[in-house]
Amino acid sequence: MEPSRVIPIACKGNHSGASTSHTQLASAAVHADAVHIGGWTDTPALIFSTELPVDGPMTVHALQARGNGGRLTHPADKARDLDAVLDDDNIFPGIQPPVRDGESPETVPGFHIQQRHFAWFQHVLARTGAARPTAFAGDAVLVDAPQLTVPYLTGRQGRRRYEGISHAAIGSVQDAQETLLAIPFVGTGHVFRLNRTRVEAFSGIARDLFEHLAKRRLTRYRSEIHARRSSWPTHTWDNGWNGPVSVHPDGSVLALCVLPA
């Protein structure tokens, strides 16, 4: 597998027009420039501002920085066990400009992932990536796998928000099963109204991949989604479910259907 490549992305939106988007692009460029991964000013970035006017078409403005950096390359002996618990490293903020005339200039405001941090940052991304589908499928409270999302996050990433009892308005429990596009999924369901029409939403993850995450087999989970990345269904309608279905390459799914009035 190729080394991970990280691209900072800044997204903003407004209900005004192009002038507001231009201001948003400028401020977003400052935010993106405050993150360096590897070499000085060599980190690629994508910046978006979306116009959502009340009486006109949606317009997306985009800027791209064509940096060659962002690749988390490191020696094999520095590789980490992704199944291991992530340590909350204390990296002092500040972007280090290159050495000039044998001297290191003072740091500038921002956050800099230097090469000595690459293996740790790759570990962070892997564990955070695992937390997304577990939370998306409902942070299950099961006898054999309580609070699935908690072990994949550090304290600074908001781990405490998944500990204890969640508010009913924001919490979700993995308590539903659906077979969609011939794939068994586990997850959580919600019912809401869309323009007075009752709609059910199911969000989950493939059952076999869920088992890997529940049992902390992150390395195996990542290997399997990498191997299956091009084999997920491409059609987006399930007749049995009677609604649209979207399967993401990480094995997660979102399905919608209209309920009887």
pLDDT digits (tens), the chain, 261 positions: 567 899 999 999 999 989 999 999 999 999 999 999 999 999 999 999 999 988 889 999 999 999 889 999 988 888 899 999 888 888 889 999 998 888 889 999 999 999 999 999 999 999 999 999 988 888 654 444 457 888 898 888 877 776 665 544 445 566 789 999 999 999 999 899 988 899 999 999 999 999 999 899 999 999 999 999 999 998 899 999 999 999 999 999 999 999 987
Does residue 2 fall inside a structural domain? no
Domain-located, residue 172: yes
pTM of the model: 0.84
Domain tally for the chain? Answer: 1
* Residue 59 identity: T
Rg, the chain, Cα only: 21
Single-letter amino acid, residue 61: H
Give CA–CA dist 173/187, Å, rounded: 8
Two structure tokens written together for 57: 């078409």
Would residue 7 count as lying in a domain? Answer: no
Q: Which long-range contacts (CB under 8 A, 24 or more apart) does 14-17 make?
A: 14/49, 14/50, 14/51, 14/52, 15/51, 15/52, 15/53, 15/54, 16/51, 16/53, 17/51, 17/53
Q: The domain containing residue 131 runs over which residues?
A: 72-258
Q: Tell whether 43 is covered by a domain.
A: no
> Is residue 130, in this structure, part of any structural domain at all?
yes
